[in-house]
Chain A
Amino acid sequence: MIKRQIPLMIAFVMGILFIIQFFVPHQLSQDLLTGVNKWLMIIGGISLLLGINSLVHFHYVQIKRETPGWGFSLVMFLCFGLALVAGFLPSIVMWFVEPAKAGAEPVKWLSFIPLIPPFEPGSTLFWIFRNGISPFMATMFSMIGFFIASAAFRAFRARSLEATLLLIAAVIIMLGQTPIGQMLWQGIPDIMVWIFSVPNTAAKRAIWFGITMGTIAFSLRIIFGIERAYLGGTDQK
């Protein structure tokens, strides 16, 4: 019982406290908000351990049991390790070997390691992001374009008034953003802007009202302990 009541009480007290905080224009109130935001970042950072553990455990089991495709898990581990080494090694070297000359010339036997802090141009991690992660993400997302186009080909047949409107709006938006649209007819970009600013705004605003109402209701349910799904399971322990 207490194992469920304590979390519910914490959620209630914190929820009410920070609703009140919003209406208190005192410096202390602002400091509380700034401080708690730092706390949330720290908690979030530590909580990421769970996700990392889940990933590592899954791939470790794949390799241990030699399930079909376990070699891919090995690739995952290798690249995971590579990114960690690229990120931490320069700092570790700077910390242990050259604490007084951090950022200066590296010692000879370690000269192959660029002593540049991670994320700064020239560091290995920066290189990995620029030449690995960023193009990789672009490729992945661009591939979705093929699937969207393929789905649209099947779904966008003008069989009803609604489907026709969807099709026309999509085509105008697509043409309006390309030079060919302007070449076909000068008015297409203007119609595109109108679609975005009038019917699109009306629809999105109404949908957003619904989302907001739902969020408010859900937040109140959490604060007052009506929503308990986050406690997990149905046991009463």
Chain B
Amino acid sequence: MSSDIFVWIAAFLTIAIYSFLYKDNPLYKAAEHLFVGVSVGYSIVILYFNVVSPRLLVPLFQEGDWVLIFPALIGLLMVSRFFPKYDWLSRITIAFVLGISTGINLPLIIQASLLKQLQGTMLAMTNLNDILIVVGVFCVMIYFYFSSEHKGIVNSVSKIGILFIMVGFGASFGYTVMARISLLIGRLEFLFHDWIHLIK
């Protein structure tokens, strides 16, 4: 067994979390709250050292970039939510962020997610795979077409679409499970190799 106290603590916490697989219990809850506390504290430190300090405090107070007082004030308007009489001021921040984000993203989405994807779907259809992709995209889109009732030819096409969707979902499912399993293997390796040295 390991003689490192920190390995023992980590092993104890790992088992505490896995104890939830049996049922919800105080050990799991303690570990969960520990995780939340540490994660939030860590996030605040990251935020301070990666955003607040280098992008706001240093340029503002050391380099004299006074323009940055505006985003600081706009951000601070969110704090008005704590005062019911003035909580409407937080809408200004939300509107500002939403307006800019949608303005920046709209042309990018049209370009990257719509036009480029459409371009990628306009295949020469010289082989079976290309034909399957074009037919698959068309059928799945018909499946999500709700402006007319799915009857006759529309119904038949949308049913082919379902088959493609099912294969896609199956692929996503299998991929997700394998990702989780690899994490599980990592944790088991820690328990049986680093902690109790059962695996050499």
What are 26 contact pairs spanning A and B, CB under 8 A? A10-B92, A18-B99, A19-B106, A38-B55, A42-B51, A72-B30, A73-B33, A76-B34, A79-B35, A79-B37, A83-B39, A132-B10, A135-B190, A139-B183, A139-B187, A148-B176, A169-B166, A201-B136, A202-B135, A206-B141, A206-B144, A209-B137, A216-B109, A230-B94, A230-B98, A231-B94
Inter-chain contact total with CB atoms closer than 8 Å: 378
Rounded to whole angstroms, the CA-CA distance of A16 and B100 in the bound complex is 9
**Is B133 interfacial (CB-CB < 8 Å)?**
yes
User: Which of A21, A128, A195, A205 is B38 in contact with, Cβ under 8 Å?
Assistant: A128
A residues in contact with B132, CB < 8 Å: 198-199, 202
8 Å CB interface, A5-49 against B: 6-8, 10-19, 21-23, 33, 36, 38-49
Interface string of A138-164 (1 = CB under 8 A from B): 111111111011001000000001110
- In the assembled complex, the CB of A231 is this many whole angstroms from the nearest CB of chain B, namely 5
Given contacts A203-B164, A215-B105, 16 further A-B contacts (CB under 8 A): A14-B95, A79-B34, A79-B36, A81-B41, A88-B45, A135-B190, A142-B183, A145-B177, A148-B173, A169-B171, A177-B175, A199-B171, A200-B168, A202-B137, A212-B110, A231-B91
The residue that A46 contacts in the complex, of B72, B183, B186, with Cβ under 8 A, is B72
Scoring A residues 76 to 95 as 1 if CB is less than 8 Å from chain B, else 0, what string do you get?
11111111101110010000
Using a Cβ–Cβ cut-off of 8 Å, how many residues does chain A contribute to the interface with B? Answer: 121
Check B70 for interface membership: any CB of A closer than 8 A: yes
- Which residues from A are CB-within-8-Å of B76? 46
Which residues of the other chain, B, contact A166 by a CB distance below 8 angstroms? 166-167, 169-170, 173
Task: Type the 1/0 row for A89-123, where 1 means its CB is closer than 8 Å to any CB of B.
Answer: 00100000000000000000000000001110000
Could you say which residues of chain B place their CB within 8 Å of the CB of A38? 55, 68, 71
Is B47 touching A45 in the complex (CB atoms < 8 A)? yes
Interface check A226, CB cutoff 8 A:
no
Do A195 and B187 have beta carbons less than 8 Å apart?
Answer: no
Number of interface residues of B (CB under 8 A): 111
Report A37 CB to chain B, min CB distance, Å.
Answer: 8
> Which interface residue of B17, B32, B47, B106 has the most chain A CB atoms within 10 A?
B106
